[in-house]
Structure 1
Amino acid sequence: MTPMLEQYLRAKSEHPDALLFYRMGDFYELFFEDAQTAARELQITLTTRNPGAESPIPMCGVPHHAAEGYLTELLARGYTVAVCDQIEDPKQAKGLVKRAVTRVLTPGTAVEDGNLRAKEHNFLAALYYDPDERAGGLAWVDCSTGEWSGLYSRDAARLWQWTAKIGPRELLLPEGLTPPRETPLSGIQITRTPLRPHFDFAAGRDKVLSAQSVADLAALDCNDKPQLVRAMGALLTYLTATYMRDLGHLAPFKPVNLGRHMLLDEVTERNLEIFRRLDGRKGQGTLWHVLDRTQTPMGGRLLETMLRQPWLDLAPIEDTQAVVAFLVEDEGLRRHSREALAGVYDLERLITRIFLGRAVPRDFTALRQSLGALPRLRGLLDTAAAAAPKAAAELLSGWDDLDDVCELLARALVDSPPVVVTEGGLFRQGYHPELDELLDLAEHGEQKLQELLAREQEAGNLPKLKLGYNRVFGYYFELTKSAGYPPAHFERRQTLANCERYVTPDLKTLEEKILASGETRKTLEYNLFRELRDHIASLRERVMDTAARVARLDVWQGLAEAAVIGDWTRPELHTGQAITIRAGRHPVVEAVQGVGNYIPNDVSLDETAKVLLITGPNMAGKSTVLRQTAIIAILAQIGSFVPAAKASLGLVDRVFCRVGASDNLAQGQSTFMVEMMETARILRQAGKRSLVILDEIGRGTATFDGLALAWAVVEELCGRDDGHGVRTLFATHYHELTALEGRLPGLRNFHIAVKEWKGDIIFLRRLLPGPADRSYGVEVAKLAGVPRNVVKRARELLEELERSRDPGQGGRASRERGQPSLPGLIAVSRDAGDATGQVPAPLPNAATVLLDELSRLELDRMTPLEALTLLCDWKGRYGGNAC
């Protein structure tokens, strides 16, 4: 066991769960199991340190100047990496160079660009829940910007929903706390930490007060939220252990105020395809792809936050609308703003890396270029200040160009600095007098030697005096014996057969400067770089304030650009319940299909029509109408224009969206189970100011079960018990539900128009009042390419089934309904009454239902008591009094 390996193992023992990158010269080396893991994951060569030994030590390594790329790949695969650096100069070390772990890298604490997505947050989160107190807290921080926030709730399900919603890269959980099976946390690395000290309240409180420089938790609105304080303390403990330095880059803590924002849970975001498509992919097919026209990473992240948490207050919505409208009208200002913003890099993450000491030279040049665009932005705002709305004027009133910082960086750094800080070549001539001299020696050393030679030749009248160099004596003057006698200040160093070699004090001084200038220059430049970094870091608050202003301007122009491209209009918002949309469109579908191929639709919800029951065949466009209504409401409440000819919307506090079919087989949940779980959450949490989007409830089970469930859900949403219905768009294939119009308050029938033409159907994509005449399922199957013989046979079977269900009508009435009737449901809900207070009569075909149930009975397995119970149930459902 060599001293080096002993040092390695000591560092490894302090971080047993991390891959240890151990600095040796120009490489980071890994040994033992770490080497085997890294070689496999990074596809690099695995060697051994002592190949001839009985037990060779596995070993692999990567160049230190290229380590960031390898670290990025390991973090992307979920590994934690401890970086063990040399903490003393090897040239001054006596014996083994001192080394220590200087940073620990985890997926949630990354700040380097290679580990981050420009327009997305990179959250580290911590969740704590106390089952005894029935309360918990969730805190999250983006280490790359310092932004952090949190949520306190007595509902554990809400905390897990928010965890899935914000999608942290890494989640800290105390031992013993297990995520619920129904919460999708795929892609989130879960890190288990001990309850103490990470989630200890007293330690967490002290760390929070210190990090935020406050004397009382009340200043953070956390004095009555001990569980949230525990989660915040866990974050700070973990960050201190990984960064190993002061956490002064954290911004003021801002807890989420649920009363100020529309709530969109992770299921709604997924079903509306706001950030990802239903297949989990990003890009085309998402609302984000259509809406995001921002030019800077800061603007993109701010827009993401706004989309996840739209406003509930009219004031910020109307302020944003006013600026967006102003930029829509001023095409020149919008275009020039986009051009200027295109030159601005990620100011928030640049200054954070500088503050944390993680910056490389290219970060400073990116900061310099970004600051160079600020005067132009201010000039554009100044020009339009007279007509600008209030929000734009407020933005301009505190604008800081940071021109002193830009001037300093322009004067200090060369245009294209090297990648490695310690190699020199960073600074311009004229920045520092001592460095100028060293640079002059490095660039003109040979010229100065020739000038000294010329002076000696002239002073001593020695025209044949020569200048030479070897590795033993260094620089020297050479004089042949016939060329003359040397001056008195020449010191003989070597005698050869036909010449003598000399040195002079001036020559030795110049030689020392030239030979030392390279290393001295590198050392001086490194120290100057650190001084520059510390100075810029001290200005972090100014840079962050400017970054926030640039982000707001970027969001405004991006929303204006999206409005112009999509031909959107400014919506009207109010505090009432009514929602009126004229010629509304789905922005994502329209972007894919083209404006000319999209059919707009009107939607109106008010006190007399709070629940729209929408029927029509598959592929007709029911889901599109449902989703576009929810998307228009969300866009309106972030201050955006909306894809509609006209829109007037009452503020929505929550949007619930249940569409499509999905399952979670890994957790033992079928499609129908997932559907019912999502429906249960909606019915329990929706309020009178919510907007509910439901599509095909009850289709995952038997016909009568599904119809009964869908019927009951509609009654609940109409407010059967309290009379206060929930604004709802309900799409269904159960045509029996259309009979509820007039029986349930606030329910109105609508359908998607379809036209039959020569045996085929044409989808008109128009939402019209009234129920659909039938489902057209067989016709849709034909359009989908089902073989003709199958379609023909399906039609024959359909006619046969309809005749057997309703022989008196020859199948016609039953075909109009599209499904077998369920009279029992009406009978069960007699107490509800219709809009006039009259008790609705049972639907016909009770005998058909009874025969169907009889055909499915297994009489040989029934006991007499079970048979009697069944007869009582039938009597109660189909007439007369129950037993």
Structure 2
Amino acid sequence: MFEQYLRIKDDYPDALLLYRMGDFYEMFFDDAETAARELQIALTCRNPNADLRVPMCGVPHHSVEGYITQLLEKGFKVALCDQIEDPREAKGLVKRAVTRVLTPGTVVEDANLDAKGHNYLGALFWDEDKEAGGFAWLDFSTGEWSGLHAKKAADLWQWVRKMQPRELLVTENAQVPSSMSLTSTQVVRVPGRAPFDLKAATERLLHAQGVRDTGALGLEGKDELVRSCGALLAYVVQTQKQDIIHLAPFRPLNLGRHLIVDEVTERNLEIFRRLDGRKGPGTLWHVLDHTQTPMGGRLLEERLRHPWREMGPIEETQAAVSWLFERDDTRRDLRAGLDEVYDLERLTTRIFLNRAAPKDYVALRQSLAALPKVRGVLERPETPHGSYPTDGEARGDGRPPFLRAALKGWDDLSDYFDLLERALVDSPPHLVTEGGLFRPGFHAELDELLDLTEHGENMLQQLLAEEQAASGLPKLKLGFNRVFGYYFELSRTASDAVPEHFVRRQTLANAERFTTPRLKELEEKLVSASDRRKSLEYKLFQKLRETVSEARPRVLFMADLLAGFDYWQSLAETARRWNWTRPVLAQDTDILIREGRHPVVEAMQGSANFIPNDLRMDEARRLLLITGPNMAGKSTVLRQTAIICLLAQMGSFVPAREARLGIADRVFSRVGASDNLAQGQSTFMVEMMETARILRQAGKRSLVILDEIGRGTSTFDGLALAWAVVEELARRAGGTIRTLFATHYHELTALEGRIPGVHNMNIAIREWGGEIVFLRRLVPGPSDRSYGIEVARLAGVPQPVVQRARELLHELEKARDGRGEAPRAARAVLPGLDMPEPKQAAKPRALLAARTEPVAHPLLTTLRDLDTDHLTPMGALQLLNEWKLLWGGPAHAEDTVPDQPPAAPGDDHD
């Protein structure tokens, strides 16, 4: 046995080998020590008294899935070694072989998968000579796969981090960025060149897809992507031990059709995870996810990762969401119907691959039973309450195009539902080999065997009664023993009158035992009925699997249809719960948002506690400089603008009273402070790297949000960098890049009127009785100062520290007013500080140049943007009160924009 084990283990050195012995999967040697430690199970020893002690541990075969799940979550591969011949027919050692290798990226069981998330296996190939590469990803549990071709290796690795495959296949000598070690992706270096060989990869791909040319898959001229696809197929065949033909048609990702949201922006906007890395409340996904099915949840994830860039799909989705948004009863009943549908995609994959348990077929049957209910909800005539539908309403003449198209292709799969309903019991056993799977009446021979196993004793008693009556022997008895089986027994005194068809089996001191042809026949049936029943049920189950597998294309079609309805109703449900509105999309680059809100912050705080804001970006306002103190809400405004644009291009309603948005091709973000110490990158280095990527990749239709550029270094360095970034973004692509730039460098506000498209906004704040009041309103114009010391006081900094900071700030501001004496004043305020006098730096040309246009008072800008057609009297009164609070007091120096810049920059940066 150990020779057999070691011979098999040699072929799978990188996997934990689970070796089937009887009712257990056993592990030996190093595998046993590893598994015992990771699974927290007992480690025993075979041959404990021998010179060679063999560590050993095992798990029951009927509960192995739970243990495999733990090992896969920890990144291990598991090779299942099963008995491949019947032990009763084996001569000597039972033959065994590895029937499957389970890896994190190729599992199909629900216990190992996130129901509403994809589980990707990825492959990346980069050709240094051609300077081109391809990255492909496959969700083996559903059969969906895609990929992209790129001319820059950095772009490929950026997409790897975005798609987050569980496993990533690369060549042995591939250069993997060190940052990948900090992700959840397990990098698998594939030995040899064969998996990525172009010729072999092409043959595997054409065979798996059933086409003659790679051009049919959109892969013409993309050899590197073909190599990646071939490596995926080779790995799957190697681990699954069978030919893979269940995959959907390969569709390369068309970047021109989608809004590109890179992994940094996903993280900064907290789309799937919070900044602390956790899922759940505090993410956009948590706000949007009201899907009822796993297929709908995965479609929602896909749309969040790849929103549309084309007007057609956006408007089609908006129409469907709007229709369901307006019909609460329809949406409620649709949600109830969808709630009865299981994961059709993964169910049919397991059935097709012969990995399904009996309960999977019952789940499929229950899902098919829900299809007529869902269709009934969608076909319901739209009539006024209490009235009868007209002929046109009954025909559905008023249904929207998307609904008519869906109902036209609807497939209830009633033939397969009827088959499963007739075949399977409601509560089948966990294992196929246990028997008890099929209903009575499904198969005649099986019914006979079921009758024998369940009613065999009644048949024996009936035969006994018949023999007693026919022979006139009322004292005839029926018995059984292991040696002779079933028999009739008579006392010695009554045995002389036995019928001729009785055959003597055994003579005892006081009795005689007999058998009859009918009793012998019935005995043979009863003894073999249980085994025959299990064998027949297994054959019938395999035939049922083959039949149901043929329905896979039809099931997948309906799964896709239901996923779409689930996605639409989820967006409609979210919009109804949070009072969102349908945005207007345009081909220009303007943005108009009235009473916009941050959906996640609003969900956490409640609608009553969130103050909405207006925002306008047009030809005269392409770059908004947003100033204001910490905690005022600058980052919230930045993020909510990006999120509203992303939601709109998904086809969703948005959290605003009104929104008109120019379609974007990319969304970039640089917000928050983070470092990467494990890779030797400081907070400022990470900030500059992300800023560099934005400056290199942003185009004329991009939306950029930047928060506090330059704060990770000295005041003068930071100000200079922030200044240069503003100038570059205002200049690039003809000044069409839409940018929201939050900063504490108030010196930058002087750029309004000097650089076309730059416009000042601030988060309003007022002082009242020595306290600061956050108004949370975005208004035109620059803020007067940073209020950093007041925020520090609110945060709980001790009062002596706050008071001392105020004194120092007063001295520094006096020094700045004295034209460049900040260092000398600092030495006076801070005794012992020894620093050289800085040379007089040349002032930036933009500040020295004359203004290109006059800067209007913020109130005038606000009045110009006011939508008087939709202004209510109460709204007008609220605006007047707000304007009075902001600008209605005595004239202050901050109410006007100075023509000359301050002499020394950056002293009020906190």
Fold agreement, TM-score > 0.5: yes
Cross-structure match for 1:855? none
Distance across 1 between alignment mates of 2:430 and 2:337:
27
SS at match of 1:467: strand
Please state how far the C-alpha of 1:240 moved relative to its aligned partner: 0.7
1:412 to 423, 446, 456: 423
**Count of matched residue positions in the alignment of Structure 1 and Structure 2:** 838
Cross-structure match for 1:827? 844
Conserved? CA contact 1:736–1:822, under 8 Å: no
AA matched with 1:97: V
SS at match of 2:324: helix
Cross-structure match for 2:409? 398
Cross-structure match for 1:12? 9
Please state how far the C-alpha of 1:194 moved relative to its aligned partner: 2.5
SS at match of 2:266: helix
Q: Given the alignment of the two structures, is residue 425 of structure 1 paired with residue 422 of structure 2, yes or no?
A: no
AA matched with 1:421: V
Cross-structure match for 1:856? none
2:169 to 168, 172, 188: 172
User: Normalising to structure 2: TM-score of the pair?
Assistant: 0.90
Conserved? CA contact 2:747–2:901, under 8 Å: no
SS at match of 1:107: coil
1:592 to 600, 604, 621: 604
SS at match of 2:789: helix
Please state how far the C-alpha of 1:482 moved relative to its aligned partner: 2.8
Please state how far the C-alpha of 1:837 moved relative to its aligned partner: 12
2:790 to 779, 802, 805: 779
Q: Given the alignment of the two structures, is residue 483 of structure 1 paired with residue 494 of structure 2, yes or no?
A: yes
**Residues 262-281 of structure 1: matches in 2 within 5 Å?**
262-281=259-278
Which digits, 9 at most, give the CA deviation of each residue in 1:817-847, with x for residues without a partner? Answer: xxxx999574355798743599x9984537x
Q: Given the alignment of the two structures, is residue 539 of structure 1 paired with residue 547 of structure 2, yes or no?
A: no
**Which deviates more from structure 2 when the two are superposed, residues 481-490 or residues 62-71?**
481-490
AA matched with 1:295: Q
Distance across 1 between alignment mates of 2:279 and 2:114:
13
SS at match of 1:656: strand
Please state how far the C-alpha of 1:810 moved relative to its aligned partner: 12
1:70 to 56, 67, 71: 67
Distance across 2 between alignment mates of 1:448 and 1:827:
106
Per the alignment, do residues 832 and 174 of structure 1 end up closer, same or farther by CA in structure 2, a change over 3 Å counting?
Answer: farther
Conserved? CA contact 1:146–1:251, under 8 Å: yes
Which digits, 9 at most, give the CA deviation of each residue in 1:240-289, with x for residues without a partner? Answer: 10111121110000000010000000000000000000000000000000
Per the alignment, do residues 409 and 438 of structure 1 end up closer, same or farther by CA in structure 2, a change over 3 Å counting?
Answer: same
Distance across 1 between alignment mates of 2:519 and 2:701:
88
Q: Given the alignment of the two structures, is residue 626 of structure 1 paired with residue 638 of structure 2, yes or no?
A: yes
Conserved? CA contact 1:164–1:184, under 8 Å: no
AA matched with 1:103: R
AA matched with 1:293: H
**Which deviates more from structure 2 when the two are superposed, residues 180-189 or residues 659-668?**
180-189
**Residues 34-73 of structure 1: matches in 2 within 5 Å?**
34-73=31-70
Per the alignment, do residues 433 and 580 of structure 1 end up closer, same or farther by CA in structure 2, a change over 3 Å counting?
Answer: same
Cross-structure match for 1:871? none
Cross-structure match for 1:344? 341
Distance across 2 between alignment mates of 1:183 and 1:478:
80
Per the alignment, do residues 680 and 588 of structure 1 end up closer, same or farther by CA in structure 2, a change over 3 Å counting?
Answer: same
Per the alignment, do residues 163 and 406 of structure 1 end up closer, same or farther by CA in structure 2, a change over 3 Å counting?
Answer: same
Q: Given the alignment of the two structures, is residue 362 of structure 1 paired with residue 373 of structure 2, yes or no?
A: no
Please state how far the C-alpha of 1:392 moved relative to its aligned partner: 2.0
Please state how far the C-alpha of 1:401 moved relative to its aligned partner: 0.7
Conserved? CA contact 1:262–1:654, under 8 Å: yes
Conserved? CA contact 1:827–1:841, under 8 Å: no
2:775 to 764, 767, 783: 764
Conserved? CA contact 1:164–1:266, under 8 Å: yes
SS at match of 1:14: coil
Per the alignment, do residues 823 and 224 of structure 1 end up closer, same or farther by CA in structure 2, a change over 3 Å counting?
Answer: farther
Distance across 2 between alignment mates of 1:510 and 1:824:
110
Q: Given the alignment of the two structures, is residue 635 of structure 1 paired with residue 647 of structure 2, yes or no?
A: yes
Cross-structure match for 1:867? none
Cross-structure match for 1:313? 310
Distance across 2 between alignment mates of 1:248 and 1:707:
59
Conserved? CA contact 2:730–2:756, under 8 Å: yes
User: Normalising to structure 1: TM-score of the pair?
Assistant: 0.92
Cross-structure match for 1:376? 373
Distance across 1 between alignment mates of 2:451 and 2:60:
31
SS at match of 1:510: helix
Please state how far the C-alpha of 1:357 moved relative to its aligned partner: 0.7
SS at match of 2:220: coil
Conserved? CA contact 1:27–1:62, under 8 Å: yes
Cross-structure match for 2:578? 566
AA matched with 2:333: H
Q: Given the alignment of the two structures, is residue 298 of structure 1 paired with residue 295 of structure 2, yes or no?
A: yes
Per the alignment, do residues 795 and 830 of structure 1 end up closer, same or farther by CA in structure 2, a change over 3 Å counting?
Answer: closer
Which digits, 9 at most, give the CA deviation of each residue in 1:74-122, with x for residues without a partner? Answer: 1111000111111111111122111111111000001000110000000
Cross-structure match for 1:114? 111
**Which deviates more from structure 2 when the two are superposed, residues 734-743 or residues 537-546?**
537-546
Conserved? CA contact 2:747–2:902, under 8 Å: no
Please state how far the C-alpha of 1:387 moved relative to its aligned partner: 2.9
Per the alignment, do residues 106 and 21 of structure 1 end up closer, same or farther by CA in structure 2, a change over 3 Å counting?
Answer: same
Which digits, 9 at most, give the CA deviation of each residue in 1:676-719, with x for residues without a partner? Answer: 00000001000110000000000000000000000000001111
Give aligned-pair identity as a percent. 64
1:460 to 464, 471, 479: 471
Which digits, 9 at most, give the CA deviation of each residue in 1:143-179, with x for residues without a partner? Answer: 0000000000101111111111011111111112122
**Residues 220-239 of structure 1: matches in 2 within 5 Å?**
220-239=217-236
Per the alignment, do residues 472 and 231 of structure 1 end up closer, same or farther by CA in structure 2, a change over 3 Å counting?
Answer: same
Cross-structure match for 2:833? none
Which digits, 9 at most, give the CA deviation of each residue in 1:378-411, with x for residues without a partner? Answer: 1222225433321222122111111111111111
Please state how far the C-alpha of 1:725 moved relative to its aligned partner: 3.5
Structure 1's unaligned 5+ residue stretches are 815-820, 852-883
Please state how far the C-alpha of 1:181 moved relative to its aligned partner: 3.5
Which digits, 9 at most, give the CA deviation of each residue in 1:470-497, with x for residues without a partner? Answer: 1111111110123352211112122112
Conserved? CA contact 1:754–1:764, under 8 Å: yes
SS at match of 1:251: coil
Conserved? CA contact 1:827–1:842, under 8 Å: no
Deviation >6 Å, runs of 4+: 808-811, 830-833
1:706 to 718, 724, 729: 718
Q: Given the alignment of the two structures, is residue 734 of structure 1 paired with residue 745 of structure 2, yes or no?
A: yes
Distance across 2 between alignment mates of 1:162 and 1:809:
48
Which digits, 9 at most, give the CA deviation of each residue in 1:713-769, with x for residues without a partner? Answer: 0001111x6642410000000000000000111000000001111111111000000
Cross-structure match for 1:602? 614
Cross-structure match for 1:845? 903
What is the RMSD of the two structures over their aligned residues, measured on CA atoms?
Answer: 2.2
Cross-structure match for 1:872? none
2:593 to 573, 581, 590: 581
Distance across 2 between alignment mates of 1:620 and 1:176:
51
AA matched with 1:505: P
SS at match of 2:3: helix
Which digits, 9 at most, give the CA deviation of each residue in 1:574-629, with x for residues without a partner? Answer: 10111100000000000000000000000111110000000000000000000000
Distance across 2 between alignment mates of 1:702 and 1:446:
93
SS at match of 2:270: coil
Which digits, 9 at most, give the CA deviation of each residue in 1:31-72, with x for residues without a partner? Answer: 111111111111111112222211121111111111111111
Per the alignment, do residues 184 and 674 of structure 1 end up closer, same or farther by CA in structure 2, a change over 3 Å counting?
Answer: farther
Per the alignment, do residues 492 and 54 of structure 1 end up closer, same or farther by CA in structure 2, a change over 3 Å counting?
Answer: same
**Which deviates more from structure 2 when the two are superposed, residues 143-152 or residues 29-38?**
29-38
1:523 to 522, 530, 535: 535
Please state how far the C-alpha of 1:184 moved relative to its aligned partner: 7.2
AA matched with 2:494: A
AA matched with 2:803: K
Conserved? CA contact 1:296–1:341, under 8 Å: yes
SS at match of 1:62: strand
Per the alignment, do residues 512 and 282 of structure 1 end up closer, same or farther by CA in structure 2, a change over 3 Å counting?
Answer: same
Please state how far the C-alpha of 1:807 moved relative to its aligned partner: 3.9
AA matched with 1:168: P
